[in-house]
A and B are shown apart, each in its own frame.
Chain A
Amino acid sequence: MSFWFWHGLKKGVRSTHYPREFESAAGVSPGRPVATEFDSAAEAVVAAANCPADAIVARGSAAEVKLERCIYCQHCHYGNSHLLEWHSDYEWTMAVPGRGKYQPLPTAYHRSLHVIVVDAGDCGACLHEVKQLNNPLYNMHRLGIFLTATPRAADVLLVVGPVSENMRVPLLKTYEAMPAPKRILAVGACAINGGVFGRTFMSAGGVASVLPVDLLVPGDPPPPLAILHGLLAVTGRKSPVLQAASSEGNS
């Protein structure tokens, strides 16, 4: 139908200018809790105890945040005493500790990065946010990032979900089928350490226990722009911003 063409044109360009400019529209990101200074060490301990995911650590009078563990229960955001400060950004891709400095893909991949997404038991949110990257508001094609259906053509394995037992073999097969060089991006708290599902007989407790993860995108779910930041970090167009706490990542 021809009117769709005009309808589409009439709407104009809606895409964000990220990464050229910081996208500041309301609601693009839920933000993140950041380290907060309390009056006393006891208060910091209370703040840490509020967190059901052990993502807050009291260090002196400060409550520090291990974002990679955060499941966005919002307990440190409202509805409690001893709340933490929240920053409304989204650039929080992390390198995996203990694996040395992250080696980005060569520059040839800057404008042509093919991503295969494997849903390894995801709750649907992370997957949905990855899918949002295809919509006109984010439009990751403009950055030369494409989703592909076959691992044969993929450079990046983007995994969401804690790796359910029944998905373990398909995930391994996907990784094996990819040509080198390849990178693994674990997106979401579940993919990083199992999240609320943890490590059980049905969940491997994160991608790292199955495959060598290169970069982490914390969040539950991370907003589309955080995932985009992660994908840009894969090729070195952005650098991983946060450093995960050293006890994490290889659990």
Chain B
Amino acid sequence: MIDPWIGGALALFFILCACGVVLTAATRGVYPLRALLVFSSACSVLMMFASAAALASGHSFAIDLWSLEGWGRFSIRLDMLSAIFLFAAGLVYLPASLFVRNLVEVRFRGRYPMRRYGVLHFALMASVVLILVANDAPLFLISWECMSVLCYFLVNYEQSARTDIRAGYIMLVMSEAGFLAALVAFLILGRGTPDWSFSSLAGMAQHLSGSAVWGVFLLGFLGFGVKAGLVPVNFWLPRSYTAAPAVFVPVFAGVTLNLGFYGILRLDAQLMSNHSVGTGLFALVTGSITALVGILYATTENDLKKMLAHSSIENAGIIVAAVGASLVFHASGHAVAAAIALTAALYHMVNHSVYKTLLFQGVGEVEAATGTREMDRLGGLARLLPGLSVVFLVGCLSISAIPPFNGFVSEWLTLQCLLRSAVLLSSAVKVLFALCGACLALTAALAVTCFVKVYAMSFLGIRRGDWRHGPGQAGRTQFPLAYLAVACLLLGILPTYVIPVLNRAVEPLAGASAAASLVPPFFSATPENQQLPPAFVDDFHNLGAQTGRHVLPGRGLVVLVRGSEKNPVVFAMSTSYSFVALAIFLLVTWFVATRGSRQRSVTRHELWAGGIPRLLPEMTYTATGFSNPVRVVFQAIFRPNIVEDSRETVAVHFRTAILRRRDETHFVDRLLFHPVGEAVGWLARLLAGMHHGRLNAYVAYTLAFLLIILVLFRLS
């Protein structure tokens, strides 16, 4: 049986975490760093092992830890959904752990307060795993709270500037608010439940009234959405990502963000399977708006870290939009479509973890090498850090959804799902789907703009700033990044091997299998094959797919979505074949270019710049200039506030200076955060007016309060 292996791995994981805490706290010198490296890597391998074992066997591992009278019992259970998230966490924890070591050595020359960091690191790791394997509400919520507080400590770890501390506070406040919302959601859900295990909660969910379903859904969605970075509860995210230390940000973006999706899926998709179309549409629309707002701010942001934070919001939006689409399909009885949408969401979640970790590590390394994250001051890094520039390019291509990398597969699937709205009956829902599809398509296009800007402004062109540091020990940091880059490529070209795995988690949630329709074994399909619907096989026969049977190997290396009954179009996309074709094309081109023609001589000349003596950095496009068209087109959202616009002048022809500075307040800050802050401040001032220190007034307050209580009791 597989159970002892999984159980053993999890037990070993927690033991190693404990060892890690003790060793990093107890040792000195280089040892805390080494302990962190060894134990953290081992822990992440164990996470991957346990989850891979569960996924491979298709068997959920469950065990009761202990039970307390009146409190129910604590139990853990590694089901397929947990396993996917656990695997993703392990996948990025491994390079992130290695990266911590490298970054500390390169940037801080080993002088980093590792001991306290190690304790927090292992504690966070343990709490993340506990959240993912918890099988009852109390354990889940306690672990969640631990995770929130630990994140707060880690974000403020390098607390030096005032703003950083403030960013941490805002994050903590938002996390607590989200936690409370989730807590209330669980309390409503579990009213009158015998115990608080997830299975009995799921049973209780069947009896909820319509309004209670909405209440639980919204509380859970927004509560967990805080962690996932959904509009409008995401204003903490760019601030704290920017404030968080470079060693922690990859984990922050690659692991803890996913917990938000996990919470949403666990509560809103698994526990409550009886939701309406409306809740799904709410998620879809929120996700689409989140994606668009996220990418707009990412495109115009010039701080690399902040830009990636906004981009995380965008990706969270895409994932939640896909989840929303899945809920809508599920509620309207299209189980296969729901399964496909959910597959897309999970796929994108995994992809996002991988490339976002890669990009954050890249930014960390850029900052270590140059001392700045400001794109207007970077430029020409490709010459300084050639290795990094290649892997960073892979990250940029992946996140911009360019084949053959992984972002393409999941975004393509997400958009295809939205196009499948034809199966839905209500035309209003169809219109909403179309609008959200357009929104996501625009997001995808802007994402390309955004990352063209990021790569071109930071890595290409000529060096703009006067950087503090020289290049660090760039060679050593390459492994974790290369590992992630390879993961990006593999996830991109082998979706047909990934989707069946994801399908194991999707099937119980959506009630149907997506694999048969996404990865059909149609090349080997015979009319007798029962796995495929006959109509489906017919479609492919008509398309001549069978003719490829002897030529194309493998089990359905094609990701495809079938059209509707009336319109039997097959949307097919084989990233693996296109990768092979692309590789062959590039090789042939390279061969022709280098060998094919005779007497080629390559001469290198200075850049042509119209004959001026030298192209100076101030004569090249800045990041601000590159993204200005976006800023102008979406002015209604950005609403830039011109802080300064003055012209120092001698005569009309003779300007000595044109000064212009803009200040942009984030859309959500402007509409929500600042008004709420002002309202709270106003209320506080009002209440403060009561505290004037006169004793008789306080006695009067008490009296009045007693009277009100008495009247209320009387009335009830």
Q: Do chains A and B touch in the complex (CB under 8 A)?
A: yes
A→B interface (CB under 8 Å): 150-152, 169-171, 173-174, 176-177, 179-180
Per CB-CB distance, the 5 closest pairs between chain A and chain B, nearest first, are: A170-B611, A177-B608, A173-B611, A177-B605, A152-B608
Contact A179 B603 (CB under 8 A): yes
Q: Does B565 contact A (CB under 8 A)?
A: no
A176 to B611, CA, bound (A): 10
Smallest beta-carbon distance A38→chain B, Å: 48
* Complex Cα gap A62–B610 (Å): 48
List B contacts of A152 (CB < 8 A).
608
User: Cβ of B613 and Cβ of A169 under 8 Å apart?
Assistant: yes
The CA of A152 and the CA of B609, in the complex, are separated in Å by 11
Q: Which residues of B contact A169 (CB under 8 A)?
A: 611, 613
B597 to chain A, nearest CB (A): 14
Residue interface mask B595-606, A partner, CB < 8 A = 1: 000000001011
Q: Does B657 reach chain A (CB closer than 8 Å)? A: no
Report whether B611 and A174 are in contact in the complex, using a CB–CB cutoff of 8 Å. yes
Q: Which residues of A contact B608 (CB under 8 A)?
A: 150-152, 173, 177
Q: Is B612 an interface residue (CB 8 A)?
A: yes
Minimum CB–CB distance from B608 to chain A (whole Å) comes to 5
Q: How far is the CB of B449 from chain A (nearest CB, A)?
A: 26
For B611, list chain A residues within 8 Å (CB). 169-171, 173-174
Query: Is B606 in contact with A177, judged by CB distance below 8 angstroms?
Result: yes
CB distance from B107 to the nearest CB of A (A): 40
13 A–B pairs (Cβ distance < 8 Å), ordered by A = A151-B608, A169-B613, A170-B611, A170-B612, A171-B611, A173-B608, A173-B611, A174-B611, A176-B605, A176-B606, A177-B608, A179-B603, A180-B603
Residue in B closest to A178 when the chains form the complex, CB atoms: B605
Q: Which chain B positions have C-beta within 8 A of A150?
A: 608
Bound complex: CA A174 to CA B612 (Å): 10
Shortest distance between the CB of B616 and any CB in chain A (Å): 15
B117 to chain A, nearest CB (A): 53
How many B residues face the partner with a CB closer than 8 A? Answer: 8
In the complex, which residue of chain B has the Cβ closest to the Cβ of A176? Answer: B605
Residues on B with beta carbons closer than 8 Å to the beta carbon of A179 = 603
A177 to B608 Cα, complex, angstroms: 7
Q: How far is the CB of A244 from chain B (nearest CB, A)?
A: 29
Chain B min CB distance to A137 (Å): 30
Residue with the greatest number of chain A CB neighbours at <10 A, chosen from B605, B606, B610, B611: B611
Give the CA-CA distance A176 to B605 in the complex, in Å: 8
Chain B contacts of A176 at CB under 8 A? Answer: 605-606
Q: Name the residue of chain B whose CB is nearest to the CB of A170.
A: B611
A173 to B608, CA, bound (A): 8
In the assembled complex, how far is the CB of residue B126 from the closest CB belonging to chain A, in whole angstroms? 60
Task: Return chain B residues, CB-CB under 8 Å to A180.
Answer: 603
Q: Which residues does chain B contribute within 8 Å of A174, judged by CB atoms?
A: 611
Residue of B nearest to A174 (CB): B611
Complexed CA–CA distance, A169 and B610 (Å): 11
Query: Which chain B residues numbered 414 to 464 have a C-beta less than 8 Å away from chain A?
Result: none
Nearest A residue (CB) for B609 = A173
> Complex: how many Å from CA A51 to CA B198?
108
What's the least CB distance linking B93 to chain A, in Å? 49
Kindly report which residue of chain A lies nearest to residue B607, judged by CB atoms: A177
For the complex, give the distance between the alpha carbons of A170 and B608 in Å. 10
CA A179 – CA B608 in complex, angstroms?
Answer: 12
Residues from chain A with a CB closer than 8 A to the CB of B610 are 170
Write the chain B residue with the least CB distance to A180. Answer: B603
Docked pose: A220 CA to B613 CA in angstroms: 30
A117 to chain B, nearest CB (A): 12
A169 to B611: give the CA distance in the assembly, Å. Answer: 7
Chain A residue at minimal CB-CB distance from B610: A170
Closest to A151 in B: B608
Instruction: Provide the residues of chain B in CB contact with A171, threshold 8 Å.
Output: 611
Of residues A150, A173, A177, A180, which shows the largest number of chain B Cβ atoms within 10 Å of its Cβ?
Answer: A173
Q: B154 → chain A, closest Cβ, in Å?
A: 52
User: Shortest distance in angstroms between B250's beta carbon and chain A's nearest beta carbon?
Assistant: 42
Q: Using an 8 Å CB-CB cutoff, how does the interface string of B222-243 with A read, 1 for contact, 0 for none?
A: 0000000000000000000000
- Can you list, as one digit per residue, whether each of B577-609 has a CB less than 8 Å from chain A (1) or not (0)? 000000000000000000000000001011010
Residue of B nearest to A169 (CB): B613
- What's the nearest-Cβ distance from chain B to residue A111, in Å? 21
Considering the complex, give the chain A residue whose CB is closest to the CB of B608. Answer: A177
Min CB–CB distance A112 → chain B (angstroms): 18
- Chain B positions within 8 Å of A170 at CB level: 610-612
CA distance A180 to B603 in the complex (A): 10
Q: Which residue of B lies closest to A150 (CB)?
A: B608
Q: How long is the Cα–Cα vector from A151 to B608 in the complex, in angstroms?
A: 8
Proximity bits, B608-626, A CB within 8 Å = 1, else 0: 1011110000000000000
* A166 → B minimal CB distance (Å): 11
Q: How close is B614's CB to chain A, nearest CB, in angstroms?
A: 10
CB-CB under 8 A from A177, the residues of chain B are 605-606, 608
Nearest CB in chain B: distance from A235 CB, A: 21
Nearest Cβ distance between residue A92 and chain B, in whole angstroms? 30
| Distance (whole angstroms) from the CB of B604 to the closest CB of chain A | 11
Residues in A whose Cβ lies below 8 Å from that of B606? 173, 176-177
Q: A150-B608, A169-B613, A170-B611 are in contact. List 12 more A-B contacts (CB 8 A).
A: A151-B608, A152-B608, A169-B611, A170-B610, A170-B612, A173-B606, A173-B611, A174-B611, A176-B606, A177-B605, A177-B608, A180-B603
What's the nearest-Cβ distance from chain A to residue B135, in Å? 67
Cβ of B605 to closest chain A Cβ, rounded Å: 6
Q: Smallest CB-CB separation from A177: which chain B residue?
A: B608
- In the bound complex, what is the Cα–Cα distance between A148 and B489 (angstroms)? 42
Cβ distance A50 to chain B, nearest Cβ, rounded Å: 40
Residue numbers in A under 8 Å from B612 (CB-CB): 170
Shortest distance from the beta carbon of B602 to any chain A beta carbon, whole Å:
11
Q: Which residues from A are CB-within-8-Å of B603?
A: 179-180
What are the interface flags for B545-582 relative to A under an 8 Å C-beta threshold, 1 for contact and 0 otherwise?
00000000000000000000000000000000000000
- State the CA gap A204–B605 with chains docked (Å): 25
| B603–chain A nearest beta-carbon distance, Å | 7
> What is the CA–CA distance of A171 and B613 in the complex, to the nearest angstrom?
11
A215 to chain B, nearest CB (A): 23
- Interchain CA distance A11-B612 in the complex, whole Å: 42
Q: Which residue of B lies closest to A167 (CB)?
A: B611
Min Cβ gap A170→B in Å is 3
Minimum CB–CB distance from B601 to chain A (whole Å) comes to 8
Most buried by B among A152, A171, A177: A177
Expressed in whole angstroms, the minimum distance between the Cβ of B66 and any Cβ of chain A is 76
B599 CB, nearest partner CB in chain A, Å: 12
Residues of B within 8 A of A173 (CB): 606, 608, 611
Q: How far is the CA of A174 from the CA of B610 in the complex (A)?
A: 8
Cα separation A107 to B181 with both chains bound (whole Å): 80
> How many Å lie between the Cα of A173 and that of B603 in the bound state?
15
**Which of chain A's residues have a CB closer than 8 A to the CB of B605?**
176-177
Q: What's the Cα separation between A176 and B603 when bound, in Å?
A: 11
The answer for the CA separation of A151 and B605 in the assembled complex, in Å, is 11
Of all chain A residues, the one with the shortest Cβ separation from B601 is A180
Kindly report which residue of chain A lies nearest to residue B612, judged by CB atoms. Answer: A170
With both beta carbons as reference points, the residue of chain A lying nearest to B613 in the complex is identified as A169
* Residue of B with least CB distance to A172: B611
- Bound complex: CA A7 to CA B605 (Å): 46
Q: How far is it, in angstroms, between the C-alpha of A171 and the C-alpha of B608 when the chains are bound?
A: 12
- Rounded to whole Å, the gap between the CB of A25 and the closest CB of chain B is 37
How far, in whole Å, are A151 and B603 apart by their CA atoms in the complex? 14
B347–chain A nearest beta-carbon distance, Å: 44
Chain B's closest residue to A152 (CB) is: B608
Nearest CB on B from A26, distance (A)? 39
CB distance from A182 to the nearest CB of B (A): 12
- Nearest CB of chain B from residue A160's CB, rounded to whole Å: 15
In angstroms, Cα B605 to Cα A180, docked, is: 12
Q: How far, in whole Å, are A152 and B606 apart by their CA atoms in the complex?
A: 11
CB distance from A109 to the nearest CB of B (A): 17
**Assembled-state Cα–Cα distance A150/B607 (Å):** 11
List residues of chain A with CB within 8 A of the CB of B613.
169
